[in-house]
């Protein structure tokens, strides 16, 4: 049996789990992250929504109903967590633009404006006035990007199509990693004689080196570009995930990737370790403390049966609206479905309330009442609670 022992074991390799793991590494702890696969973060826009329902997210957070996970973190820690995140982004060459006290807007593939807070540098110029000319560059055969949606909403827009010979965002992004392709593309842009104004393109500017690709393209063409985050799979989301993963590995963190948990080893009120489903050989991961960061329904941390909601790793108590008939509102366009409140209740030290374990901490959207869609607080809440749960866990270990 292959086994490892760590100060802390984080279950779940998404935004909150990786943030918690990095925080613990920075505190000098040995950390392992166990994940069953790539996280929901890879489907995201790559932007950090902190509290989209407020013009000033930091202020808005203090006005949230009591019991929201942000309330357990506290303002100073929220600021600290995001400052650390921005530093990590810069360190791994995906610099983020923006400030935590100010919401900003980007453009979506439907031409609508999406409110968010911190954005990757490649989207810096996404804000534009109604009178600005915008030129959209799309790619032949790309099935998730249709410029006409945007042109309808923004009358002063033009459009050209480049043939990258691959029809997927990831395929095109891979091509942009090649210098000769970038050269060809830049020459083509110059030949288009695009009128003065910004150039928008779907987010395909590379997988690993988006910043240098973006800067090189701007330099070669002497134009201002911005990326529009596409439907999943989304490059900015993948870049964000890769950045956190690299940051963790560089700090000596260990990843157990692609493994579901087969069983849990308990001793009294303590979790001793977890064994992983691993074809071929069994792996056992032991720790002094555990952090549960498995997310909500989409990522599989919670699972709903016809009449009840369950936590999938430790079978922790879950609070949820009881009758299934009220889980969802009647219309698609009304956010704030009751089911969004489902999750694990925590105490001020980020331990599950009424849970059977004393060395287990919880972070991310699996926490009850996070209502990520209603408040537009996904990644921000993950970063803040990931940081805070790690701090609390650190205090427990030492």
Partner 1 sequence: MIVKDVIIIGGGSTGCGIARDLALRGVSHCLIEKNDFAAGATGACHGLLHSGGRYVVSDPAAAAECIAENRILRKIGRKCVERTDGLFIRLPGDSKKYRDAFLKSCERLGIETEVLSPTRALELVPSLNPALEEAVRVPDCSIDPFRLCMLNIVTSQARGGEILTHHEVIDIIKERGRCVGVRAREKLSSSIKEIRGKAIVNATGAWAQRIARLSGSSLPMTLSKGSLVVTNHRLSNMVINRLRPPSDGDIIVPNEAVCLAGTTSVAVDDPDNMDVTAGEVEIVAREAASMVPEFERVRLIRTYAGVRPLLHAASEDGRQISRNFQIIDHTNGLFSIIGGKLSTYRLMAEKLCDAIMKEFGLKTACATAEKPLEGQEELRGYPLSKRLESLKDIVCECELVSRSEVERVIQRINPKHIGDIQHRTRLGMGPCQGGFCTYRALGIMQETGKMPPEESMHILKEFLQRRFKGVRPALWGDQLREEQLIEYIYLGILSMESH
Paired residues of 4 in beta bridges: 285
Asked if the peptide bond before residue 243 counts as cis, ω within 30 degrees of 0, the response is no
8 Å CB contact between 243 and 209: no
CA 371 from chain centre, in angstroms, equals: 15
Q: Which is nearer to partner 1, 281 or 323 (CB)?
A: 323
Q: Is residue 260 part of the contact set for partner 1 (CB under 8 A)?
A: no
Q: Is residue 359 part of the contact set for partner 1 (CB under 8 A)?
A: no
8 Å CB contact between 49 and 380: yes
Q: Which is nearer to partner 1, 38 or 216 (CB)?
A: 38
Dihedrals phi, psi of 168, to nearest 5 degrees: -120, 155
Q: Is residue 143 part of the contact set for partner 1 (CB under 8 A)?
A: yes
Dihedral (Cα; 361, 364, 365, 369), 10-degree rounding: 60
Q: Is residue 144 part of the contact set for partner 1 (CB under 8 A)?
A: yes
Handedness of CA 85, 86, 92, 97 (dihedral sign): positive
DSSP 65: P
Which residues within the stretch 196-225 sit at the binding site for partner 1 (CB under 8 A)?
Answer: none
Selection from 321, 373, 204, 288 nearest residue 7 by Cα: 288
In angstroms, the CA 211 to CA 220 distance is: 14
**In the bound complex, what is the minimum distance in angstroms from residue 333's beta carbon to partner 1?**
4
**In the bound complex, what is the minimum distance in angstroms from residue 89's beta carbon to partner 1?**
20
Which residues within the stretch 63-122 sit at the binding site for partner 1 (CB under 8 A)?
Answer: 108-110, 112-115
CA 222 from chain centre, in angstroms, equals: 32
Q: Which is nearer to partner 1, 17 or 147 (CB)?
A: 147
Stretch that binds partner 1, among 19-27, 43-51, 182-190, 253-261 (CB under 8 A): 43-51
Paired residues of 107 in beta bridges: 113
Q: Is residue 45 part of the contact set for partner 1 (CB under 8 A)?
A: yes
Single residue of 334, 347, 348, 354 touching partner 1 by CB under 8 A: 334
Stretch that binds partner 1, among 172-180, 245-253, 345-353, 372-380 (CB under 8 A): 372-380
Instruction: Specify the 3-state DSSP secondary structure of 153.
Output: helix
Single residue of 37, 167, 252, 395 touching partner 1 by CB under 8 A: 167
Which residues fall within 8 angstroms of residue 203, CB to CB, at 6 or more apart? 46, 122, 123, 169, 227, 228, 229, 230, 234, 235, 236
Which residues within the stretch 264-303 sit at the binding site for partner 1 (CB under 8 A)?
Answer: 296-298, 300, 303
Q: Which is nearer to partner 1, 131 or 325 (CB)?
A: 325
Q: Is residue 380 part of the contact set for partner 1 (CB under 8 A)?
A: no
Contact residues for partner 1, defined by CB under 8 A: 43-45, 49, 108-110, 112-115, 141, 143-146, 148-149, 151-152, 167, 229, 231-232, 234, 296-298, 300, 303-307, 324-325, 327-328, 330-335, 339, 373, 376, 378
């Amino acid at each position: 049996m292959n086994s490892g022992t760590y100060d802390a074991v984080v279950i779940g390799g998404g935004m909150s789990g990786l943030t918690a793991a990095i925080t613990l590494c920075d505190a000098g702890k040995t950390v392992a992250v166990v994940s069953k696969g790539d996280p929901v973060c890879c489907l995201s826009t790559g932007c950090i929504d902190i509290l989209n329902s407020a013009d000033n997210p930091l202020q808005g957070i203090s006005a949230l109903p009591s019991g929201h996970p942000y309330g357990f973190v506290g303002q100073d820690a929220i600021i600290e967590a995001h400052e650390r995140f921005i530093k990590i982004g810069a360190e791994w060459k995906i610099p983020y633009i923006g400030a935590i006290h100010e919401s900003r807007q980007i453009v979506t593939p439907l031409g609508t404006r999406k409110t968010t807070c911190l954005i990757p540098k490649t989207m810096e110029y996404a804000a534009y006035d109604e009178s600005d000319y915008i030129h959209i560059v799309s790619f032949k055969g790309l099935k998730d990007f249709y410029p006409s949606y945007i042109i309808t909403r923004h009358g002063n827009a033009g459009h050209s199509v480049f043939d990258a010979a691959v029809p997927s965002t990831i395929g095109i992004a891979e091509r942009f990693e090649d210098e000769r392709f970038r050269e060809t593309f830049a020459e083509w842009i110059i030949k288009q004689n695009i009128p003065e104004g910004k150039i928008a393109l779907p987010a395909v500017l590379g997988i690993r080196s988006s910043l240098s690709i973006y800067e090189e393209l701007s330099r070669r063409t002497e134009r201002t570009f911005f990326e529009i985050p596409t439907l999943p799979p989304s490059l900015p989301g993948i870049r964000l995930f890769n950045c956190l993963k690299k940051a963790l590995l560089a700090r000596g963190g260990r990843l157990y990737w692609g493994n579901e948990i087969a069983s849990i080893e308990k001793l009294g009120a303590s979790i001793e370790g977890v064994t992983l489903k691993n074809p071929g050989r069994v792996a056992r991961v032991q720790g002094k403390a555990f952090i549960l960061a498995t997310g909500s329904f989409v990522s599989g941390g919670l699972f709903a049966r016809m009449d009840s909601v369950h936590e999938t790793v430790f079978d922790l108590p879950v609070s949820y609206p009881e009758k299934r008939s009220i889980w969802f509102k009647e219309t698609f366009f009304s956010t704030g479905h009751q089911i969004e409140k489902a999750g694990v209740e925590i105490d001020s030290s980020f331990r599950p309330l009424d849970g059977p374990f004393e060395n287990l901490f919880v972070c991310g959207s699996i926490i009850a009442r996070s209502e990520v869609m209603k408040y537009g607080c996904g990644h921000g809440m993950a970063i803040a609670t990931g940081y805070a749960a790690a701090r609390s866990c650190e205090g427990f270990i030492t």
